[in-house]
Structure 1
Amino acid sequence: MSPSNPSGRTVAPHGWVQAVATALAGLVAMGVTAALGLWAAGAADLPGGGFAPVVAATVVTAVGGTVEVSGNAGGLADTAAGLTVMPLSVTLAGVLVVAAGFLRPLRHRAVASAGELAGWAGRIAVVWLLGLIGLALAARHTFAVPLGDETISDLGDLFGVSPEVGFRANVPLTVVVGLVWLAGTLLLALAVSRRAPLPGRLLPFQTSVRPAAYAMVVLLLVHVVAGLVVAVVVAATRGHPAETLAVALLGLPNVVWPALTIGLGADWHGRVQGPFDLPMPHVLDEVLRTPDVSTLNLQALADYDNRWWWLVVVEAVLLLAAGFLTAVRSPARMRTWQHAVHLAVALALTVLMICLVCRISAHLGLSLFGIGDLGGALSARLFLRADVWPALGLALLWGLVAGFLGALAARPVRRRGVTPGDA
């Protein structure tokens, strides 16, 4: 018999059919997004049926899993390769679909026990686990590496050297990290949703957590939507629609979320070296393709184009809007300084998340008869990482100011009067 809430309305049971539908819908959404993005990037022409394994590997990395890259070139050559990146467009597709499926059966509830929520999450986790294992086992393939230079290629043919680079998912680590990813997604859904029920002991915390968490999710999604609009305009006016589509479907948050931190004044450090042909905006390639490690910040972008200074104004407006949204979704009794603290903490955690998930590291090296030395013309390298602690300090400062001003702006639209202590 279906459970009922106190109002007498029938509530759908959190059964296995819904768990299967939720988990599979998330995996399918991620798989379709990855496949379309890779197709736009030209991966559909990979030799030896490599497209499907690359799609599986992309989904594995999107949930935080590990794909190990290895090389083999025989006794006369040596290879080295590595890749660490999360395609966050694929990640975001999975988060939105899984969160929606998890919350849907709970939308008519006011309170739910911890055991009930854990049981519902556990059913989804079982199906998710099976899907992760299947993807991790499918994410393996080997590709031949062209030697490039004609002389070196002739030497390789003469001595029978055929460099290869392969990849395979680390199944145990992928399963563990993928389950942590799922747990984080479900907890975030409960923290953000206004209607999702919580155990009675946690109800006092929802007024301090949910408004700021919701505002941060909206802030991140607004950046993604704005980036998508810019991508459409760029594709329509400057050409290269396939490359732009690849960026949008694979790594749009990888671009727009670091832009949020850069607009706050944060620094990122990185470098692009060698013949990497990755889907990334041209401005990033220009700033990062230098002889030494480059600093990616507002000044570096403004040196390329002065219009990047407008990013500060855009972020200031969006953060003020986030502070206003946090205030209007909070109880009227909450004081202005509390709004400021809540938004500052939420923004700092958001910036920390961006710094952790937007890091990129990739390298490929080939040495043949001592030529190339794993770091010369036959190598390629890309990395990008944030200067975390200064970014967190800036986020706290911006959050305090935006939260305070947003609370002041929200006073006239509140349905209830403020407390005397707030005045």
Structure 2
Amino acid sequence: MRPTTVADRAVSRHGWVQAVAAVLAGLAAMLAVAALGLWAAGATRLPDGAFARVVVATVVTAVGGSVELSGNAGVFAQTRAGLAVLPLSVTLTGALVIGWAFLRPLRHRPVGGAGPSAGWAARIAVPWLLALIGLALAARHTFAVDVRGGTLSDLTGLFGVTPTLGFTTNVPLTVLFGLLWLAGVLLLALLVSRAPPLPGRPARFWEAARPAASAAVTLLLAYVVLGAVAGLVTAATRGHAAQTFAVLLLGLPNLAWLALTLGLGATWHGRVDGPFGLPLPHILDEVLRTPDVSTLNLRTLTEHDGRAWWLLVAAVVLVPAAAFVTAVRSPARVPPRRHALSFAVALAAAAAMIGLVGRISAHYGLSVLGIGDLGGGLSGELLLWPELGPAVGIAALWGLVAGFLGSLLALPVRRRTGTGREHGTRTR
């Protein structure tokens, strides 16, 4: 049995107080981002003190929890509502904070067994489980819907109808998916960090997968940063600053990673009908606001705005740059074809992740005696989904080409610095 090292004991000393602090830091960051985003979106005007509960519900959805909408409008009326969307700005904030807190005590641990790391992860999971239960129980509320003017207002007054909208959570599903979210965050943090790998077979897997996975995550974060810069410029030059900040604080990665897949050549489908609290960028609203389901890709975007070709330019520059970083960080003995394959797998996995978490399905409506579901600002629909298989295939092809090119470009750098040989010596 491997002797316990001083670094292992340091990891083990990160006990319950540190675990609770890590979870509280992550939750505080997520709640702050969600609250600021919803405040910018005007959610403070929701009736019956709903704002705080909506903030909690937003955090629940950000970690994969299940929030269910319901409505009631009496025997003469019908309501319908549904929501399936991840506020990825909130999700990313929590992942970065909790991932950093998890990795902090592992930074100086030598190559060793999985016991201390697994124990530290389990300590974080326990307060996280309790937090999930508390969030799921708190994310419940019902409030009245204000029907302003028109035929529907007259009918609701005539029949004494008071439309209400409520939301609640499925506690078991929220706990299940919230724990899976945490496990994914901690595993990905280990995979992309420079913390030492585990010995034996896991070390070989870490050595092969870490550079490509780290570069893919860096690529995703680079798109988020570029999206933030574009959003700030838009807010400063074109007005509607509050709405822009609402989008940045709630759905920046949703849009930034959508831009990545569109730049690669992927196709999405969607539809927008009626008003929504969070506006889409103007070009997306134009493409998607049609009577039928619309196709969203570079061609349809450039038909409305020629500047959409910059999405392709960004992909041509940033994807090979990420592949170059992958090759520089890899052992010198890895051939170009291996780089191409590993980066293709990483980029395809990133595209699959974007396709799964970037889907949007939101709708609401109210009708009284069959009147009102088609107008008056009391109905709306927002749908967005990818052609997932082709998107993953296109990303894999980009990864193969960019990975091979990046490996060739990195050869002089690796020979000059000896980075690959040092990495191979450290992980043996």
Q: What TM-score, normalized by structure 1, do the two folds share?
A: 0.95
State the 1:6 CA deviation: 6.7
Are positions 1:364 and 2:387 aligned together? no
Matched AA of 1:381: E
State the 1:4 CA deviation: 6.7
**Which has the larger displacement, 217-226 or 135-144?**
135-144
Distance 1:72 1:9 in 2: 57
Counterparts in 2 of 1:23 and 1:298: CA distance versus 1, 3 Å? same
In the alignment, structure 2 segments of 5+ residues that lack a partner are 422-428
Asked whether the 8 Å contact 1:66–1:173 carries over to 2, the reply is yes
Matched AA of 2:153: S
State the 1:282 CA deviation: 1.7
State the 1:9 CA deviation: 9.8
Distance 1:112 1:242 in 2: 50
Distance 1:11 1:173 in 2: 31
Matched AA of 2:338: Q
Asked whether the 8 Å contact 2:8–2:116 carries over to 1, the reply is no
Matched AA of 1:348: A
Distance 1:211 1:68 in 2: 40
SS in structure 2 of the partner of residue 49 of structure 1: coil
Matched AA of 2:55: V
Query: What are the superposed Cα offsets for residues 333-392 of structure 1, whole Å, 9 maximum, x if unpaired?
Result: 0000000000000000000000000100001121201213x4555421111000101101
Q: What TM-score, normalized by structure 2, do the two folds share?
A: 0.93
Matched AA of 1:302: T
Are positions 1:51 and 2:48 aligned together? no
Q: Which residue of 2 aligns with 1:139?
A: 139
Q: Which residue of 1 aligns with 2:354?
A: 354
Q: Structure 2 matches for 1:182-197, cutoff 5 A?
A: 182-197=182-197
State the 1:201 CA deviation: 3.5
Q: Which residue of 2 aligns with 1:71?
A: 71
Q: Which residue of 1 aligns with 2:387?
A: 387
In the alignment, structure 1 segments of 5+ residues that lack a partner are none
Q: Which residue of 2 aligns with 1:161?
A: 161
Query: What are the superposed Cα offsets for residues 186-229 of structure 1, whole Å, 9 maximum, x if unpaired?
Result: 00001001124435431111221100010011000000000010
Distance 2:116 2:7 in 1: 19
Q: Structure 2 matches for 1:305-316, cutoff 5 A?
A: 305-316=305-316
Asked whether the 8 Å contact 1:4–1:10 carries over to 2, the reply is no
SS in structure 1 of the partner of residue 265 of structure 2: coil
Asked whether the 8 Å contact 2:63–2:181 carries over to 1, the reply is yes
Distance 1:279 1:381 in 2: 13
Distance 2:214 2:70 in 1: 42
SS in structure 1 of the partner of residue 295 of structure 2: strand
What number of residue pairs does the alignment pair up?
A: 416
**Which has the larger displacement, 264-273 or 378-387?**
378-387
SS in structure 1 of the partner of residue 48 of structure 2: helix
Q: Which residue of 1 aligns with 2:42?
A: 42
Distance 1:70 1:353 in 2: 29
Matched AA of 1:41: A
State the 1:116 CA deviation: 2.3
Q: Which residue of 1 aligns with 2:249?
A: 249
State the 1:284 CA deviation: 1.3
State the 1:275 CA deviation: 2.2
State the 1:59 CA deviation: 0.1
Are positions 1:114 and 2:97 aligned together? no
Matched AA of 2:397: L
Distance 2:304 2:348 in 1: 28
Q: Which residue of 1 aligns with 2:408?
A: 408
Distance 1:248 1:327 in 2: 32
Counterparts in 2 of 1:371 and 1:343: CA distance versus 1, 3 Å? same
SS in structure 2 of the partner of residue 143 of structure 1: strand
Asked whether the 8 Å contact 1:112–1:200 carries over to 2, the reply is no
State the 1:10 CA deviation: 5.7
Counterparts in 2 of 1:13 and 1:7: CA distance versus 1, 3 Å? closer
Distance 1:293 1:384 in 2: 9
SS in structure 2 of the partner of residue 278 of structure 1: coil
Are positions 1:24 and 2:39 aligned together? no
Counterparts in 2 of 1:11 and 1:369: CA distance versus 1, 3 Å? closer
Q: Which residue of 1 aligns with 2:233?
A: 233
Distance 2:339 2:232 in 1: 36
Give RMSD over aligned pairs. 1.9
Distance 1:339 1:417 in 2: 15
SS in structure 1 of the partner of residue 367 of structure 2: strand
**Which has the larger displacement, 200-209 or 143-152?**
143-152
Query: What are the superposed Cα offsets for residues 42-92 of structure 1, whole Å, 9 maximum, x if unpaired?
Result: 112221111100000000000011100001011111111100000000000
State the 1:7 CA deviation: 8.2
Asked whether the 8 Å contact 1:110–1:198 carries over to 2, the reply is no
Q: Which residue of 1 aligns with 2:270?
A: 270
Distance 2:363 2:151 in 1: 24
Q: Structure 2 matches for 1:298-337, cutoff 5 A?
A: 298-337=298-337
Are positions 1:396 and 2:396 aligned together? yes
